[in-house]
Amino acid sequence: MSFYQQLTGLVAKGAGLLDEKSVIETRQFVVSLQNDDGGFSDRAGQSDLYYSLFAHFILKSTWSGGYQQKLKSFVAEKGKGSGAHLVDLCCLAILHKELNGTFFAGLNYLVSALKYLKPSKYGGSRAYPYFLLFLAFDVYGFNNRLTRWLARRFYRDEALNGLPCPALAAQIVFKNQLGHRVKNDSNLLFSYFDDRLGFKVFPETEKADLLSTSVALVALKTGGADLTLVAPACFRLVEANFRDGAFLSGDGDPHRDTEYTFYGLLALGALA
């Protein structure tokens, strides 16, 4: 099973832990965010590829209904634009492949995204671009022995101390997929955990949040770590932040969106 299939499987498993009423509410909430152009709203109400990918993850796991044709039209229109950055290119590649079901549907966007492997094209930590590109490659079936061998030749490990929790978790997933040892990295990730709250964006941060908790759980789970001790606090965080069919960020922000709803379902699936 590919990592992308594992990821969608965790979201589906998380949805399976909700009662029927909550599943219906979640589906209705996400569907309500689809705009007339077929895209799903970001936090400002604008159609956005990134948020549309989260919506697709959720609806694919909870409903096989009619959102796809409208979303396909939005993705096709967005693909005509120029100057797309890494996130949009990866979203275009994944959504084209998912919605059209053909290998060459969005391959050009995946090729365009490769330029971001150069440090000069993407500032700061490369953990996130590595992970996004890996996920897109995985969708297209390029996560195999040959490509992992080639990736190991070009991959340069970076210092993980000081990274925010999501970037550290993404790096752990990527390194694990390449066959590198991640035990020490997983131990570092555990230092972001508060046994009353969940995982925090930095060890010194006061509050835990759902994004950090969700991606930390997935990274630790796929890396073979034991989640027994962290599960109770993480489950409490997830449970406390479900509101009317959506999950909140967990850090006090009352806004509901597809991104954190995805993270909530993903966290539940990792804890299942």
- Counted residue by residue, the chain has a size of 272
CA dist., res. 41 & res. 28, Å (int): 14
Distance CA 246, CA 261 (A): 5
State whether residue 48 is helix, strand or coil: strand
pLDDT of 102 reads 81
Long-range contacts of 47-51 (CB under 8 A, 24+ apart): 47/74, 49/75, 49/78, 49/87, 49/88, 49/91, 49/92, 49/95, 50/87, 50/88, 50/91, 50/259, 51/257, 51/258, 51/259
237 and 250 Cβ atoms separated by less than 8 Å? yes
Half-sphere exposure for 253 (CA within 13 Å, toward CB): 16
pLDDT on residue 150: 67
CA dihedral 216→218→219→223, nearest 10 degrees, is 140
How many helices (H) and strands (E) the chain has is answered by: 13, 6
Beta strands in 162-272 (DSSP E): 193-194, 198-199, 242-243, 246-247
Spatial distance between the Cα atoms of 30 and 59, rounded to a whole number of angstroms: 8
Specify which residues 198 forms β-bridges with: 194
Looking from the CA of 237 toward its CB, the CA atoms found within 13 Å total 33
Q: Phi/psi at 200 (nearest 5 deg)?
A: -110, 160
Q: What is the pLDDT of residue 118?
A: 62
- pLDDT by position in tens, the chain (length 272): 788 999 999 999 999 999 999 999 999 999 999 999 999 999 999 999 999 999 999 998 877 668 999 999 999 999 887 667 888 999 999 999 999 888 788 889 988 888 776 654 444 456 666 777 888 989 998 887 777 776 666 666 666 788 999 999 988 998 888 888 899 999 999 999 999 999 999 999 999 999 999 999 999 999 999 999 999 999 999 999 999 999 999 988 899 999 999 999 999 999 99
d(CA 54, CA 247): 13
pLDDT for the residue numbered 117: 65
- Asked whether the beta carbons of 134 and 2 are under 8 A apart, the reply is no
Q: How far is CA 77 from the centre of its chain?
A: 23
Are 270 and 221 in contact, with CB atoms under 8 Å apart? yes
pLDDT of amino acid 58:
94
